[in-house]
């Protein structure tokens, strides 16, 4: 016996519109692009930190005050926090099943990553130019 359904649409009609919203592809590409951007940036950062190991605060201020170094550091911070946000959002979306909790966590993660990125950018500005 077939259970009566309040929905009179066909099987195809019920599933139409419930598939991919095509948003996941953009998210996937952004995560791959930030990962690719981070490869040379992190190689540069590690090489720079090794080359300047043991310098004092004045030396670090001089190194970070260089326009190229300062710009690359901002790129490392921006790409790093963006990549982290994208990855953490995927974890929340995949493993948190309650929609309200999922929404709160995704919004909280955005605020957290933006706040930490701003805090590290301010610290970088202070170190590089504040002396």
Please tell me the predicted confidence (pLDDT) of residue 24. Answer: 75
Residue 106: in which H helix or E strand, if any? helix 99-125
- Residue 18 — φ and ψ, nearest 5°? -100, 0
Distances (CA, A) of 54 to 24, 48, 57, 89: 44, 12, 10, 37
Please tell me the predicted confidence (pLDDT) of residue 3. Answer: 58
Q: What is the pLDDT of residues 75-128, one digit of tens each?
A: 999 999 999 999 999 999 999 999 999 999 999 999 999 999 999 999 999 999
Q: 22-130 has which fold?
A: 3 helical TM bundles of succinate and fumarate reductases (1.20.1300)
The model's pTM is 0.78
Please tell me the predicted confidence (pLDDT) of residue 25. Answer: 87
User: Has residue 33 got a pLDDT over 70?
Assistant: yes
């Amino acid at each position: 016996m077939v259970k009566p359904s309040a929905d009179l649409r066909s099987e195809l009609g019920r599933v139409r519109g419930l598939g991919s919203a095509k948003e996941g592809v953009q998210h996937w590409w952004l995560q791959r692009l930030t990962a690719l951007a981070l490869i040379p940036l992190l190689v540069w950062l590690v090489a720079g930190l090794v080359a300047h190991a043991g310098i004092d605060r004045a030396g670090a201020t001089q190194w970070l005050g260089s326009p190229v170094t300062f710009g690359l550091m901002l790129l490392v911070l921006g790409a790093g926090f963006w990549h982290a946000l994208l990855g953490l959002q995927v974890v929340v979306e995949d493993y948190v099943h309650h929609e309200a909790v999922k929404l709160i966590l995704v919004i909280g993660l955005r605020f957290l990553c933006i706040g930490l990125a701003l805090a590290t950018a301010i610290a970088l500005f202070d170190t590089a130019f504040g002396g």
